[in-house]
Amino acid sequence: MEEKKIRQLIDAARAGREMAYAPYSGFAVGAAVLGCDGKVYTGCNIENASYGLTVCAERTAMFKMVSEGCTKFAALCVIAGETPADSTPCGSCRQVMSEFAEDVRTVPVILAGRNGEYEVHTVLELYPAPFMKFELEQ
């Protein structure tokens, strides 16, 4: 993925992070998903007093994409703390990423830190043994 496109996704994720509702943890997270339709969908984490009902930024962005008619994404960016390591998606988000990634072997996931650094991984690198829908086919 070219540097310019990576920076655009980081900027979009940063804008998503500004919308975070994180009154309990104080840890705001933003995400941007590049849908295979060419549109960028942003998301933020949304906390709830019943902690289990909290939704991560990555899933917010992916579900927004799906709710608007696009079911595959070509890239995803997450931004949270100072370093890329602060932006690692949780297991639930990794499973959802594997459901909607165009190709888990090649779709880039950009982990960005607010310090400007970023790392690029594939969905499969982050989640090497996803539960895939073809496993449900009998």
Contacts of 6 (CB under 8 A, 6+ apart): 77, 110, 118, 120
C-alpha closest to that of 112 among 45, 53, 32, 38: 32
Known catalytic membership, residue 58: yes
Select which of 47, 58, 102, 119 is catalytic: 58
Dump strand ranges (E) for 63-122.
73-79, 108-112, 118-122
Q: Bridge-partner residues for 43, per DSSP?
A: 31
Q: Which residues are catalytic?
A: 58
